Amino acid sequence: MSLPSTPSFRLDERRAFVPGGTRGIGLGCAVALAEAGAHVTVAARSAEGVETAVAALREAGHEAEGVALDVSDLAALDAFLDGRAPFDILCNSAGMARHGPSLETDPADFDAVVGLNLRAAYFMAQRVARRMEQGGAIIQISSQMGHVGGVDRAVYCATKHGVEGMTKAMAIEWGPQNIRVNTICPTFILTPLTQATFDDPVRRAWIDEKIKLPRVGEVEDIMGAVVFLASDAAAMITGTSLLVDGGWTAG
The residues annotated as belonging to the active site are 156
DSSP states along 128-176? HHHT-TT-EEEEEE--GGGTS--TT-HHHHHHHHHHHHHHHHHHHHHGG
DSSP states along 27-93? HHHHHHHHHTT-EEEEEES-HHHHHHHHHHHHHTT--EEEEE--TT-HHHHHHHHTTSPPPSEEEE-
| CA–CA dist 223, 27 (Å, integer) | 10
Q: Which residues contact 32 (CB under 8 A, 6 or more apart)?
A: 222, 223, 224, 226, 227
**Exposure of 72 by Cβ count < 10 A (0-12 exposed, 13-18 middle, 19+ buried)?**
buried
